[in-house]
Amino acid sequence: MTDLEEFDNSKDIETRKVQKLGSSSLFITLPKKWINRWNIKPGDKILIEISDDGSLKLLAEKIKLLSNRKTIKIDIDAIKQPIPSMVLCLYSLGYDEIVFESKKQIVQKEIEDLISTTKQMVGAEVTEASENRVKLECLLDAEKVGLESLLRRILNIISKKVDGIISYLSGEQPKDSELTQQEDLRRVYLMLLRHVVGSKYEVSSNLNKNFLVVMNAVILLNISRLIDRIDSTIKTTKLNEDTPILKEILQKINDLLDEVIMSILFPSMKRVSNGLNLINQINSLLQSFNDKSSIIYTSVVDIVSNLQLALENSSCTLFLEDMPWIERNFNVVK
């Protein structure tokens, strides 16, 4: 059998004529064999994936839910790694059912650590635990949680941390617990990884943008740790004449965070330009800082450096969009 014959047997190829509906809409009918096989009914949702090569892929939502459950079974005797350290990676990779098996008795401490670890993973729970087998299931469909929503939640958590420092510098009492904020940030970050890295139906044109999103999420985690360092430092040292400058810098950092996130979600030259202006303003304020050897100063410098890198990542999304000032494949012979 030739390669061409194998291809013809593996796929049914049908031709459809594009028809007109109303004044501006075009439509084609769905293949009857496909409708009958998957029991498609009026009102059912159909997912449409648009590929760069000009092809369209249709997928019934009910088929997706039933047939695309990602499962994995791991022999922990062979891999010889702690279960909790593996499960975070597998969750991020989008697995819905994770089974760990051993010929030996699984140490109870590992099961307890696993249950504790699942508290970081939204929608995950241990559904089976015996002497030789542990099963974890994730009930979260990460694709239903919007990327924009997750990034906004990361932004809100970090912004609250900055607001807390500003409140303290103003003599007010911060509202939210630092530990709770850090736990929330970790959960949202893992959800974002699962959404991007573990996506089952990723459209190829979005891959580059999603990688940039993950890169910025890692940077935001690092910024969060730097903000925590500033927070702990100002609460254990005597405030000095740099306090007014620090408050102004932190307010501009919050504005810059917003531009970084929004410019990757909604590519905009204006937002990138605003971000660059804010970086210049912050750097100018840093020149007026008196104690340039302090932990606070060096931490702010690191935050600005990280935000500048994140803004550069965000600006890359401008070139992933079809903009009037971009011409693609201009040297292709037609």
Please tell me the class of the 144-320 domain.
Answer: mainly alpha
Distance CA 82, CA 116 (A): 13
pLDDT of residue 236: 87
Task: Name the residue among 201, 195, 301, 214 with its Cα closest to residue 264.
Answer: 214
Q: In this structure, how many other beta carbons lie within 10 angstroms of the beta carbon of residue 164?
A: 21
CATH topology of domain 3-66: Pemi-like Protein 1; Chain: D (2.10.260)
pLDDT of residue 222: 93
Q: CA 153, 157, 161 angle in degrees (round to 5)?
A: 165
pLDDT of residue 62: 59
3 state SS of 104: coil
* Paired tokens of 306: 């990280």
pLDDT of residue 82: 79
pLDDT of residue 44: 79
Is 248 in contact with 285 (CB distance < 8 Å)? Answer: yes
Task: Name the residue among 322, 242, 246 with its Cα closest to residue 290.
Answer: 242
Task: Name the residue among 26, 60, 64 with its Cα closest to residue 46.
Answer: 60
Distance CA 219, CA 325 (A): 30
Angle between helix axes 147-169 and 207-234 (nearest 10 degrees) is 20
Distance CA 224, CA 185 (A): 9
Distance CA 320, CA 206 (A): 9
Is 71 in contact with 96 (CB distance < 8 Å)? Answer: yes
Task: Name the residue among 130, 140, 128, 134 with its Cα closest to residue 82.
Answer: 134
**Domain boundaries along the sequence of the chain:** 3-66, 71-140, 144-320
* Paired tokens of 316: 């890359």
Q: In this structure, how many other beta carbons lie within 10 angstroms of the beta carbon of residue 27?
A: 10
* Paired tokens of 189: 């970050």
CATH topology of domain 71-140: Translation Initiation Factor IF3 (3.30.110)
Per-residue pLDDT of the chain (334 residues; tens, 9 = 90+): 433 333 344 457 788 888 888 777 888 888 888 888 777 888 877 777 777 677 787 777 656 555 567 788 888 887 767 788 788 878 877 888 888 888 999 989 989 999 998 988 888 999 999 989 999 998 776 667 788 888 888 889 999 889 988 988 888 876 767 667 878 888 888 888 788 767 654 444 466 677 888 888 999 999 999 999 999 999 888 778 889 999 999 999 999 999 999 988 888 878 988 998 999 999 999 999 988 889 999 999 999 999 998 988 888 777 666 656 454 543 444 4
